[in-house]
Amino acid sequence: MVQEIFNGLKSILLKIINFPKEVFYAFIAPFRVYKFLKNMLREGFYEITTDFEFEGNPYQFRTLIQPDADIINYIPDIAKHTKKKWLETFRKEYQNHIENIEFFLQRATESQLALSRLIDTGIITGNGYPIWQFIEQLSIETAGISGATLALSVAFRKFLKPYIVKLSLRGIFRLARVYFRKKLS
């Protein structure tokens, strides 16, 4: 019991400490989405690269993400060298590339979180006026309107918001696909 309380308090404290970082990531997420979509629309793909050198020669891992969710990976030829040091370098740089891809995916998830937070802000703002009216008037009508608004907001947030967030992100990719089809025609 004491351990559960301690873990709960620890979790709350970590959330409080990480809150400014989450706000920052949520704030810059639309800019990342813009950059991502701009690359998608301009180039037809989003590219993640990891450059490295071996014995003075440049090499590169590339991952291309296309609007139709195709992912294409280009890796250097592992059989190009037979030295053990090449394999170690290859393995280390491949791990770096995987970390770069995971970082991109984490930022994409944060973009989804930012959209979710934006919807939450709209819900809170939408509830502000009826609650303010209730506080000012203290009447049964304003209480009913305020209560109904809160109940609808909770229901919306619980049942519809997850679908709206998913559909809106899918919609962005569908728009990109339509754009590419028209551009290629």
pLDDT of 160 = 79
Rounded to whole angstroms, how far apart are CA atoms 16 and 25?
Answer: 15
* Section 171-177 average pLDDT: 57
Note the pLDDT tens digit of each residue in 67-103.
666 778 888 887 777 788 888 888 899 889 888 888 8
Pairing of strands 71-74, 46-54: unpaired
Instruction: Name the pTM for this structure.
Output: 0.52
Instruction: Summarize pLDDT for 10-24 with one digit per residue, the tens.
Output: 777 776 666 666 666
9 domain-assigned = no
Mean pLDDT for the stretch of residues 99-108? 78
pLDDT at 185 over 50: no
Which pLDDT score, from 0 to 100, does residue 92 have? 92
Per the domain annotation, does 46 fall within a domain? yes
Quote the pLDDT of residue 77: 81
How many domains, the chain? 1
pLDDT tens by residue, 117-172: 777 777 777 777 887 887 888 888 888 888 888 888 888 888 877 777 776 666 65
15 inside domain = no
Outline where the chain has alpha helix (H). Answer: 2-43, 84-137, 140-155, 161-184
Domain that holds residue 158: 20-184
- Whether 4 is in a domain gets the answer no
pLDDT at 23: 63
Q: Which residue has the tokens 């813009």?
A: 34
Length of the chain: 185
Domain-embedded: residue 3: no
Integer Cα distance of 56 and 158 in angstroms: 56
